[in-house]
């Protein structure tokens, strides 16, 4: 066939058109398949989240007329942009409206709401009142019901080391009731001073040390960080002038093996060592870490203050099997990616879904093969006192 003086092979032209048509169908199928995976995994994650036990609304004070998702100011009724820092259920358009609403009686209602919601939230995560008035755990499997899941129920502890209702009283106490007191820099000790200041004004921890105390129950024959820290808090509550925390600084190797007096150290690392040391001291009262089962280790006063639980959920893209793993946490390390400009954006990035593929594929027990999967890390149980460490550095490979 001749077209405009050019010889065209009709068979070749038909084959070319057919090939383009087949490739187009293949691309269309690929796009639809990829999009369906995104919608499917979103539905699975949402179903998994909705399966968690919700807080019983019957215990919430009936005078709380403004719903949590309402955008109206609780005082004047205009558009509210900020939530109440205590109960998170009422919005305000300005600080003036918040002060007026608190003076009108919301402050007392807010305190009751916070206490009730804290107790209910803890009960929804496995606690139930026992006959003796203390707290025990129920064997609730905190795993989603959608798909096929291999998650194991969170084991309840055989013994509660520190009753949670006593912790609630400490958390809602008026401690610390003393003015801030400065600490002297003893030479590259700023990293420790800032952490000691934060711990000294952590309300439930200070209330425990000043009201109940640890020194009378300590079973350590050698140097004890919690005993020395109790003396530090007592001195800070009575002093009006800055003082030196040398009793703690001179024993840095006893808190963390690689810490040294007079050297510049990382504040987050020191805080981790300090909290872990206090946790070990609490376990020593019951025979030490080896003598206490892992589930009971999460019921110390230190765990009640700083402890939480992370959930790592993986959804197989081939068979939709859901795998949940839970891990205890004492703080949250959050990276700063891209143009993140606020803590909220960093937390959103922390909980983003991750696509496991290529060399990072997931070994699915149901498929018995390495497959593509979705992974998501969330906070399954938030700590009562959340410590967030921002990673302001990134490793670059040149």
pLDDT, tens only, 246-302: 999 999 999 987 888 888 899 999 999 999 999 999 999 899 999 999 999 999 999
| Residue 308 Cα distances to 162, 227, 351, angstroms | 16, 25, 16
In whole angstroms, what is the distance from residue 229 CA to residue 196 CA?
9
Task: For the chain, give the number of residues.
Answer: 398
Average pLDDT score over residue span 45-54: 49
Of the two residues 141 and 188, the one the predictor is more confident about is 188
Over residues 145-163, the pLDDT tens digits come to 334 445 555 666 778 999 9
Q: Which two tokens stand for residue 240?
A: 């009006």
In percent, the amount of the chain with pLDDT more than 70 equals 71
Query: Among 310, 300, 306, 298, which Cα is nearest to 381's?
Result: 310
In whole angstroms, what is the distance from residue 279 CA to residue 53 CA?
29
pLDDT bracket for residue 2 (50, 70, 90): low
Span between the terminal Cα atoms of the chain, in Å: 59
DSSP string, 185-200: --SS-HHHHHHHHHHH
Q: Does position 136 have pLDDT exceeding 80, yes or no?
A: no
pLDDT bracket for residue 83 (50, 70, 90): low
What contacts 153, CB < 8 A, 6 or more positions away?
139, 140, 141, 142, 143
CATH no. of 157-303: 3.90.70.10
In whole angstroms, what is the distance from residue 316 CA to residue 80 CA?
41
CATH no. of 307-391: 2.20.210.10
Secondary structure of the chain: what % helix, strand, coil (to 5)? 40, 15, 40
Helix (H, G, I), strand (E, B) or coil at 91: strand
pLDDT bracket for residue 138 (50, 70, 90): very low
pLDDT on residue 296: 93
Over residues 295-336, the pLDDT tens digits come to 999 999 999 999 999 999 999 999 999 999 999 999 999 988
> H helices within the chain, ranges in order?
10-50, 95-101, 107-124, 164-171, 190-200, 203-207, 225-238, 246-249, 252-255, 267-284, 294-297, 301-306, 343-350
pTM summary value: 0.62
Do residues 150 and 138 make contact, with C-beta atoms less than 8 angstroms apart? Answer: no
């Amino acid at each position: 066939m001749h077209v405009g003086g050019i010889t065209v092979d009709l068979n070749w032209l038909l084959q070319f058109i057919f090939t383009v048509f087949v490739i187009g169908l293949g691309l269309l199928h690929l796009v639809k398949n990829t999009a369906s995976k995104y919608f499917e995994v979103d539905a699975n994650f949402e179903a998994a989240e909705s399966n968690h036990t919700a807080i019983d609304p019957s215990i919430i004070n009936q005078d709380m007329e403004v719903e949590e998702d309402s955008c109206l100011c609780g005082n004047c009724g205009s558009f509210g942009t900020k939530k109440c820092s205590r109960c998170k259920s009422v919005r305000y358009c300005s600080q003036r409206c918040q002060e007026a609403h608190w003076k009108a009686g919301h402050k007392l209602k807010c305190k009751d709401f916070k206490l009730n919601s804290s107790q209910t939230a803890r009960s929804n995560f496995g606690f139930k009142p026992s006959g003796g008035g203390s707290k025990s755990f129920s064997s609730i499997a905190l795993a989603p019901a959608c798909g096929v899941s291999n998650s194991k129920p969170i084991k309840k502890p055989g013994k509660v080391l520190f009753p949670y209702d006593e912790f609630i009283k400490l958390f809602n106490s008026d401690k610390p009731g003393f003015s801030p007191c400065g600490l002297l820099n003893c030479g590259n000790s700023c990293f420790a001073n800032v952490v000691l200041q934060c711990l000294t004004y952590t309300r439930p921890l200070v209330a425990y040390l000043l009201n109940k105390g640890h020194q009378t129950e300590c079973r350590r024959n050698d140097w004890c960080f919690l005993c020395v820290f109790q003396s530090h808090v007592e001195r800070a509550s009575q002093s009006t002038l800055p003082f030196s925390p040398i009793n703690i600084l001179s024993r840095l190797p006893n808190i963390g093996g690689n810490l040294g007096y007079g050297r510049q150290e990382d504040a987050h690392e020191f805080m981790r060592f300090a909290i872990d040391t206090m946790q070990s001291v609490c376990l020593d009262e019951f025979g030490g870490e080896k003598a206490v089962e892992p589930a009971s280790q999460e019921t110390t006063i230190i765990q009640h203050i700083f402890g939480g639980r992370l959930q790592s959920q993986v959804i197989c893209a081939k068979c939709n099997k859901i795998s949940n793993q839970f891990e205890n946490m004492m703080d949250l390390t959050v990276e700063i990616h891209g143009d993140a400009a606020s803590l909220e954006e960093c937390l959103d990035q922390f909980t983003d879904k991750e696509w496991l593929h290529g060399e990072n594929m997931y070994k699915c027990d149901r498929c018995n093969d390495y497959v593509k999967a979705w992974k998501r890390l969330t906070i399954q149980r938030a700590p009562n006192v959340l410590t967030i460490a921002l990673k302001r550095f990134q490793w670059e490979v040149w």
